[in-house]
């Protein structure tokens, strides 16, 4: 049985690491729990570790991993993660989207974001305007992978990556057909790893 403070810290750690991909600092934990000193956080962390709720990874900063949650916690069996929802210029909107954790595969939540597809992506990607895509941040992708790139006007586009030409390219929709257009190597902002579609 966990105390109220232990449970509060465990849930805070779970939500933070799910969203950020790394553990919060002891100062951030103390502030979240309303504790005046880090020594109180140390005691709570030690208690959670002794009870098998978390593990501390050696020789790494902020290396705390939540390995299980109490059975009475609604999040224990939900298997969901909250991702930041970015706008068409890939700027933060302050909104978040909850998605099944399985959609991320092996990707860490802290490396992913969600965005709503605008315009028209290449037909081979299967992505339509209004679809929400889950994107893992990266600057490279295998041939054929749907990627998010920033256009010259600062707007994000969903393209199909291909390196069959000289230098990096992306197949993008244009004029009712798919054309090959060169893009800068660092223009790739991430790889689309999942799709959420609403039929309403």
Mean pLDDT of 94-120: 83
pLDDT in tens, 3-54: 999 999 999 998 888 777 788 999 999 999 999 888 999 999 999 999 888 8
Residue 19's pLDDT is what?
76
Q: Residues spanned by CATH 1.10.10.10 within the chain?
A: 4-66
Residue 60's pLDDT is what?
67
Q: Residues spanned by CATH 2.10.109.10 within the chain?
A: 80-196
Residue 115's pLDDT is what?
93
Q: Which CATH class is domain 4-66?
A: mainly alpha
DSSP assignment of 26-93 equals HHHHHHHHT-SSHHHHHHHHHHHHHTTSEEE-TT-TT-EEE----TT-GGGTT-EEEEEEE-TTS-EE
pLDDT in tens, 48-92: 999 888 888 776 667 788 877 776 776 555 567 888 999 988 988
**For the domain bounded by 80-196, which CATH number is listed?**
2.10.109.10
pLDDT in tens, 141-187: 888 888 898 877 778 888 877 765 434 444 444 333 344 444 444 47
Residue 153 vs residue 130, higher pLDDT: 130
């Amino acid at each position: 049985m966990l105390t109220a403070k232990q449970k509060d810290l465990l849930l805070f750690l779970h939500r933070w690491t799910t969203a950020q991909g790394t553990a919060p600092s002891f100062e951030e934990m103390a502030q979240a729990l309303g504790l005046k000193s880090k020594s109180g956080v140390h005691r709570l962390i030690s208690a959670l570790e002794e009870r098998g709720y978390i593990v501390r990874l050696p020789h790494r900063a902020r290396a705390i991993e939540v390995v299980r949650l109490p059975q009475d916690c609604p999040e224990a069996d939900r298997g969901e993660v909250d991702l930041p929802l970015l706008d068409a210029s890939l700027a933060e909107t302050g909104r978040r989207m909850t998605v099944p954790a399985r959609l991320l595969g092996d990707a860490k939540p802290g490396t992913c974001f969600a965005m709503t597809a605008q315009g028209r992506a290449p037909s081979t990607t299967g992505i339509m305007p209004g679809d929400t895509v889950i994107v893992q941040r990266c600057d490279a992708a295998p041939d054929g992978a749907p990627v998010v790139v920033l256009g010259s006007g600062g707007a994000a586009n969903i393209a199909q990556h291909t390196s069959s030409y000289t230098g990096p390219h992306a197949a993008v929709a244009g004029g009712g057909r798919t054309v090959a257009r060169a893009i800068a190597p660092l223009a790739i902002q991430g790889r689309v790893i999942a799709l959420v579609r609403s039929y309403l």
